[in-house]
A and B are shown apart, each in its own frame.
Chain A
């Protein structure tokens, strides 16, 4: 049996991109420990609607930690307190009765607020558009082992490809840098033979786009790796730096 918890919420409200935001407080008394964090917000929204007020907007889609839509900053931590867990997979059993929870949108100039907790992450799309793809002819789908790939490279590519683009790295970085996202997207392609062809152009174009979008510099804080729901290592960033130097030297 599960018991009901009382949770004191404090969340960001902003009616539109140019509107002035503010914090709103509300206490929920029927939070179940088996609820996910987002289900708890569903309960909040039911209450708000019964009151005749606007529900709280927040981004979500799959609710199983694989789509990268949710990106709440909970008590100052992107995706909340649990290691390797997106906030949709964060369950209320991680909190106790009477807890105070502050929910904010990811704060970055490159991620402007659309409404409440929803931010515009199309800056990430533009970084991908700058070079996060393979455009050379790689032939039709073939037997998986037809192209030999070192186990080490395959593992790295897979680790980096796990990035779901949620933006927690940007949200948590003290500099609001997008280095981990950009590097993961660069490196997962560069480690594979199909992606290796456009390696140089890709790293230069994507690094340039990241800067243009107004993300900050990297200071090797490593906070991004700590909050990443996919636990992507900042080794990806070191990898990108090597790649970038190689690209510049080779011309």
Chain B
């Protein structure tokens, strides 16, 4: 039997790890979204939430290291699969057309590398601007100093190009998940002939609900100029 390292390098292992890291990242998105909605809870909720996260110390670093590992592993595999396909078909077709029917070749599945690379670049900008972004220090009701990340979010999303940029990237993540969410479970061997359609439907619903949740925030803040009634002051 192969060693674990060899198994991970096999095409099955690579697919499996793409699926596992993908599912882990999707779960992270769920948690991320839940956190985002603190902005609608009360005037202080979002800042208290981010402060609490930062106060986790070593636990937060471990979680961040884990996420970084998942992102890098997932990207490495995706890029390597894309490079591999160019090697596996050195001479291409003059004419190429999908048969349709049960084929899942569509805009989403064909553009995984492009949507994926865009997301990767976005992540750098996103973390740079929000995690390490410049914020004012304000006092909480308990007299504790905290970063006013909430204001940074509102300021950012009332800027038209930032709001638009986020909607575009979030749409690309939606596209990525349209293929990825179902594909991940197929990669893990969970799907079979009978449940594959159900998994596909579930993946679409999950993706749409999740991503609409994300897209709503920049759209709402921009549309209301940051003064919307949902945002508590």
Contacts and interface: CB of A to CB of B under 8 A. Distances in A.
Nearest to A168: B99
A30 interface: no
Nearest to A103: B95
A245 B98 contact: no
Given A226-B102, A240-B12, A76 B191 contact: no
A247 B13 CA distance: 12
Given A175-B81, A226-B100, A235-B193, A216 B89 contact: yes
Contacts of A219: 81, 85, 109, 112, 183
Given A81-B99, A234-B186, A235-B191, A218 B88 contact: no
Interface in A217-246: 217-223, 225-227, 233-235, 237-242, 244-245
A241 B12 contact: yes
Contacts of A221: 103-105, 109
Contacts of A127: none
A26 interface: no
A251 B100 CA distance: 40
A177 B88 contact: yes
A222 B12 contact: no
A15 interface: no
Interface string B28-53: 00000000000000000000000000
Given A109-B89, A174-B85, A214-B87, A102 B95 contact: yes
Nearest to A200: B1
A242 B189 contact: yes
Interface string B92-113: 1111111111111100011010
A190 to B, nearest CB: 13
Contacts of B62: none
A175 B99 contact: no
Interface string A26-52: 000000000000000000000000000
Contacts of A83: 99, 101
A104 B92 CA distance: 10
Which size class do A's interface residues fall under? 35 or more
Contact of A222 (B2, B7, B105): B105
A75 B88 contact: no
Contact of A172 (B99, B109, B192, B196): B99
Contacts of B81: 175, 216-217, 219
A241 B2 contact: no
B186 A220 contact: yes
A133 interface: no
A75 B16 contact: no
A210 interface: yes
A102 B97 CA distance: 12
A207 interface: yes
B133 interface: no
B174 to A, nearest CB: 18
Nearest to A75: B95
Interface in B159-210: 179, 182-183, 186-193, 196
A83 B110 CA distance: 22
A110 B87 CA distance: 10
Given A175-B85, A222-B105, A227 B196 contact: no
B195 to A, nearest CB: 9
A237 B12 CA distance: 9
B129 interface: no
A246 to B, nearest CB: 10
Interface of B: 1-2, 4, 7, 10-16, 80-81, 84-85, 87-105, 109-110, 112, 179, 182-183, 186-193, 196
Given A104-B93, A216-B85, A219-B112, 17 more contacts: A77-B99, A78-B99, A102-B95, A104-B95, A214-B88, A217-B14, A217-B80, A220-B104, A220-B179, A221-B103, A222-B102, A222-B105, A226-B99, A235-B192, A235-B193, A238-B189, A241-B16
15 contacts: A73-B93, A77-B99, A104-B93, A109-B90, A176-B88, A207-B10, A210-B11, A217-B84, A220-B182, A220-B187, A225-B103, A237-B186, A238-B186, A247-B1, A251-B1
Pairs of residues from A and B, 10 with the lowest C-beta to C-beta distance, nearest first: A216-B88, A226-B103, A76-B97, A241-B189, A76-B95, A242-B189, A176-B88, A175-B85, A226-B99, A222-B104
